[in-house]
A and B are shown apart, each in its own frame.
Chain A
């Protein structure tokens, strides 16, 4: 039973969950102003409010930036979209995790955040299976930490996360579970929205041009599997290029040209 559940994961993926933040990063093409911590964004505090990545000073006369990032004005909020930083888990995020420790009670997963994630065995098995439709809830069906081994790559969903406790994870859900093949690469987490693009335009283009499966997660890790190693290498180079140039204008077109050129140079079609 459990194996069947795992196999169903190997499909093509469409990432609809991760498109929320894109509007913020992709933004209006006219505002690409780089700001640094402590820089005064505006002194007009009557018309503007401090948004994400900003703070009012003590006298409430200036709005200043907290991060190195791009300044953006959304209605009357001033935001700073960071260009670098760490991943903060939020409930509902799908992330790629590495099993680094396990004991009979729980797994510990590295999710590229400041805290390790906790995966309890009850969250690795579907609820109705736990009750046991065959044996009427017999004890030998009780979940244990036998399912995954240390070193496994899992795609998990964050159930709950706050800044005091370790985030709790689950592997029950669509696309979630263990990955047996493919490559995992990691990039800077704030640049993930750019890899997805507005309404997933960038990721669709990458998939079409390189004939690969890609699964992008919010913690900066990307799972990919192509037809052959040449495509996978090209895709990794393209993603590294996106990461480097994430704050520039007209990225999607440039990446599409880049991939087509590289295909000719490398002799793959």
Chain B
């Protein structure tokens, strides 16, 4: 007998003790794990586990543009390919890129573009391939986070990193970092990303209903969460090199 998982949403998204269904507080993030530099053939790569999301990102570039007519004579281009694995969701996902994947690819491209100095690479392209191996809500935010890591790992000159998180409203209350069920059954979903060199929003999408006061409040909530995630990103990038340094410092650094 094949396992059939019914796509039913629970009536209440908060437990009786006031916590969320997965046992988190209202503004608690899911556990996040990041790694950089695991794909050998890519120029830069990163891996992210954010709750149940498992995402790989690979960066290639600067290199020639294929097809050639896409290249621009005065600046480089950034292309983002967001793809979901067939086994990443409950019902098999058809492998061909659909409307949703094309949209997210475009949104992520626009989100990452202000970071790069594309005018220094006329006629060339940077390509970011993002593969979602396991999806459980908030993949576009996780993808923006992991793509920034992969770009930094590739040694592409960047103004800063970008970090993204989703805030939303479930059962009439604002929460940070929505999971899959909360995303579908909740009232509102607001993914947003910040570029840190000017602290401006680089990605803002909105789905559901919320009044203006709540909207302002949720942006503040998002920023608090983003600061934590940004800290993790920086540490991940540094630790790759600091680990090797400490291996051989022999106590010299401790002076």
Interface string of A46-77 (1 = CB under 8 A from B): 00000001010110000010111000000000
Instruction: Return A209 CB to nearest CB of chain B, in Å.
Output: 19
Instruction: Return A46 CB to nearest CB of chain B, in Å.
Output: 21
Instruction: Kindly state whether residue A163 has any CB partner on chain B within 8 Å.
Output: yes
A37 proximity list for chain B (CB < 8 A): 115, 152, 157-161
Instruction: Return B60 CB to nearest CB of chain A, in Å.
Output: 11
**Alpha-carbon distance A79/B184, docked complex (angstroms):** 48
| Interface range on chain A (Cβ under 8 Å from partner) | 20 to 34
Instruction: Decide: A66 and B241 in contact? CB cutoff 8 A.
Output: no
Instruction: Kindly state whether residue A83 has any CB partner on chain B within 8 Å.
Output: yes
Instruction: Kindly state whether residue A248 has any CB partner on chain B within 8 Å.
Output: yes
Contacting B245 at CB < 8 Å: which of A84, A248, A254? A248
Instruction: Return A31 CB to nearest CB of chain B, in Å.
Output: 12
Instruction: Decide: B245 and A32 in contact? CB cutoff 8 A.
Output: yes
Contacting B241 at CB < 8 Å: which of A55, A164, A247? A247
A254 proximity list for chain B (CB < 8 A): 248
Instruction: Return A125 CB to nearest CB of chain B, in Å.
Output: 30
B198 proximity list for chain A (CB < 8 A): 57-58
Contacting B160 at CB < 8 Å: which of A34, A38, A250? A38
Instruction: Return A188 CB to nearest CB of chain B, in Å.
Output: 8
Closest Cβ neighbor of B62 among chain A residues: A114
In this complex, the member of A34, A38, A244 whose beta carbon has the largest number of chain B beta carbons within 10 angstroms is A38
A115 proximity list for chain B (CB < 8 A): 123-124
Interface size on B, residues (CB 8 A): 38
Instruction: Decide: B62 and A34 in contact? CB cutoff 8 A.
Output: no
Interface string of B160-182 (1 = CB under 8 A from A): 11000000000000000000000
Interface secondary structure of A, over-half rule: loop
In this complex, the member of A66, A68, A164 whose beta carbon has the largest number of chain B beta carbons within 10 angstroms is A68
Interface string of B219-255 (1 = CB under 8 A from A): 0000000000000001001100110110111001100
Instruction: Kindly state whether residue A187 has any CB partner on chain B within 8 Å.
Output: no
Known: A84-B154, A114-B63, A163-B120. A248 touches B159 (CB 8 A): no
Interface string of A235-254 (1 = CB under 8 A from B): 00000000011011110001
Closest Cβ neighbor of A114 among chain B residues: B62
A244 proximity list for chain B (CB < 8 A): 244
Instruction: Return A164 CB to nearest CB of chain B, in Å.
Output: 6
Instruction: Kindly state whether residue B197 has any CB partner on chain A within 8 Å.
Output: yes
B62 proximity list for chain A (CB < 8 A): 86, 114
In this complex, the member of B64, B152, B197 whose beta carbon has the largest number of chain A beta carbons within 10 angstroms is B197
Interface string of B25-69 (1 = CB under 8 A from A): 000000000000000000110000000000000000111100000
Interface secondary structure of B, over-half rule: mixed
Instruction: Decide: A38 and B196 in contact? CB cutoff 8 A.
Output: yes
**Alpha-carbon distance A248/B252, docked complex (angstroms):** 11
Instruction: Decide: B249 and A36 in contact? CB cutoff 8 A.
Output: no
Instruction: Kindly state whether residue B122 has any CB partner on chain A within 8 Å.
Output: yes
Instruction: Decide: A64 and B244 in contact? CB cutoff 8 A.
Output: no
Closest Cβ neighbor of A86 among chain B residues: B62
Instruction: Kindly state whether residue B23 has any CB partner on chain A within 8 Å.
Output: no
Instruction: Return B138 CB to nearest CB of chain A, in Å.
Output: 23
Within 8 A of A (CB), among B114-130: 115, 117, 120-124
Instruction: Return B35 CB to nearest CB of chain A, in Å.
Output: 15
Closest Cβ neighbor of A82 among chain B residues: B155
Known: A58-B198, A114-B124. A66 touches B249 (CB 8 A): no
Instruction: Enumerate chain B interface residues (CB-CB to A < 8 A).
Output: 43-44, 61-64, 115, 117, 120-124, 152-161, 196-198, 234, 237-238, 241-242, 244-245, 247-249, 252-253
A-B contact pairs, 19 of them (CB 8 A): A36-B152, A37-B152, A38-B158, A38-B161, A39-B234, A57-B197, A57-B198, A58-B198, A66-B158, A68-B152, A82-B155, A85-B156, A86-B155, A114-B121, A247-B241, A247-B245, A248-B244, A248-B247, A249-B252
3 interchain residue pairs of minimum CB distance: A38-B160, A85-B155, A84-B155
